[in-house]
């Protein structure tokens, strides 16, 4: 059945009306365009004076071990398809590498995080950036939303140069999230490398830990203290729902005195002096200590 026959059967009464015909045709065309289109994002590679893009195949000549692992990396999927497409996977982060290649590795790529001489500029030798600042700057050129999160009051010290993005997001091999995919425990272990006090083991563990650290904490930045996803008791009430029965307040199915509930207005369930062991307790099933 052709599209024209289908439209005649679908709107038989309005088919003789020319305005209706035009409207139906325009709607059908719009529907076809929407159904066949895909949202695309283009990244414009930076131009560096005196340097040219040579393609990732040239990088493999010397960095063969990294190239083997990079085929499994999430970033390797950022390829331009078509006859005019070029494989600039490595250079999309490290910049045009012609000078680096021609010098046999003596001259660093424009965005390099290893030892070597910096590329010369029109004003003489360029001062190399610190490793943390350089990595952060390159990552933020594409991940601008994450850059905004790091500008929030509470964040990991990446902008301060005390951490780097690749500590949690390996760029050259595998999933771009440490412990990503189905490896939930590995993801938590990545956080616990710097936060060992929250590792336990606990006699009474907070079940939320099984869901992962990011259930309660925003990893890049938050307006809330301790990078919490929600402010104060609102975070707890996402799981421990509140009910009112006969004028009495129940939280998580347990009766709470009004004095306790009123104190929550001044802080969270933990800062009110009740459930202080939010990650786990060795003595209290209510996580009080």
Per-residue pLDDT reduced to its tens digit, 223-238: 999 999 998 788 888 8
Lowest mean pLDDT among 64-68, 153-157, 184-188, 242-246: 184-188
Please report, rounded to a whole number, the percentage of residues in the chain having pLDDT higher than 70. 67
Which residue in this structure is represented by tokens 């560096």? 48
Q: 10 Å Cβ neighbour count for 107?
A: 20
Query: 71: Cβ–Cβ under 8 A, 6 or more apart, which residues?
Result: none
Instruction: Note the pLDDT tens digit of each residue in 143-161.
Output: 889 999 999 999 999 888 8
Measured distance CA(66)–CA(68) in Å, rounded: 5
**Top-confidence residue, 9 or 209:** 209
Nearest Cα residue to 154 out of 82, 225, 67, 73: 225
pLDDT for res 107: 85
Q: Give the SS3 label for residue 288.
A: coil
| Token pair listed for 1 | 């059945």
For residue 189, give the nearest of 179, 197, 180, 200 by alpha carbon: 179
**Could you read off the pLDDT of 60-75 as tens digits, one per residue?**
899 998 988 888 888 8
Q: How is residue 29 written in tokens? A: 């065309």
The Cα-based distances of 262 to 7, 234, 275, 288 in angstroms read 63, 14, 15, 18
DSSP symbol at 199: -
Please say if the pLDDT value at position 58 is more than 50.
Answer: yes
Place of tokens 């000078």: 99
The radius of gyration of the chain's CA atoms, rounded to the nearest angstrom, is 28
pLDDT attached to residue 228: 94
User: How far is it, in rounded angstroms, from Cα 98 to Cα 96?
Assistant: 6
Mean pLDDT of 40-63: 80
- Let me know the angle formed at the C-alpha of 222 by 218 and 227, rounded to the nearest 5 degrees: 60
The larger pLDDT score, comparing residue 207 to residue 183, is at 207
Assigned token pair, 93: 């982060």
pLDDT at position 221: 95
- pLDDT(100) > 50: yes
User: Mean of the pLDDT values across residues 125-138?
Assistant: 61
Cβ neighbours of residue 78 closer than 8 Å, sequence gap 6 or more: 43, 89, 92
Q: What rounded mean pLDDT belongs to the chain?
A: 75
Alpha-carbon span 209 to 277, nearest angstrom: 12
């Amino acid at each position: 059945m052709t599209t024209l026959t289908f439209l005649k059967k679908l709107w038989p009464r309005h088919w003789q009306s020319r305005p209706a015909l035009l409207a139906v045709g325009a709607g059908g065309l719009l529907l076809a365009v929407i159904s066949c289109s895909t949202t695309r994002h283009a990244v414009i590679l930076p131009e560096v004076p005196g340097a040219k893009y040579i393609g990732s195949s040239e990088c493999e000549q010397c960095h063969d071990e990294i190239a083997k692992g990079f085929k499994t990396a999430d970033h390797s999927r950022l390829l331009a398809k078509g006859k005019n497409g070029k494989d600039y996977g490595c250079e999309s982060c490290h910049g045009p590498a012609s000078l680096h290649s021609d010098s046999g590795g003596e001259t660093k790529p424009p965005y390099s995080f290893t030892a070597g001489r910096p590329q010369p500029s029109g004003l003489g030798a360029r001062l190399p950036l610190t490793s943390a600042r350089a990595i952060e700057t390159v990552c933020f050129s594409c991940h601008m939303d994450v850059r905004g999160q790091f500008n929030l009051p509470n964040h990991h010290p990446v902008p301060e140069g005390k951490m780097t993005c690749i500590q949690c997001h390996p760029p050259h091999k595998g999933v771009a999230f440490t412990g990503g995919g189905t490896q939930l425990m590995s993801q938590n272990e990545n956080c616990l490398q710097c936060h060992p006090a929250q590792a336990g083991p606990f006699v009474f563990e907070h079940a939320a830990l099984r869901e992962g650290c990011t259930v309660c904490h925003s990893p890049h930045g938050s307006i809330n203290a301790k990078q919490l996803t929600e402010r104060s008791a609102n975070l707890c009430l996402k799981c421990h729902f509140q009910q009112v029965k006969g004028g009495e307040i129940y939280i998580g199915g347990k009766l709470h005195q009004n004095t306790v509930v009123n104190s929550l207005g001044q802080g969270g369930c933990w800062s009110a002096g009740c459930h202080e062991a939010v990650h786990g307790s060795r003595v209290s099933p209510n996580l009080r200590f």
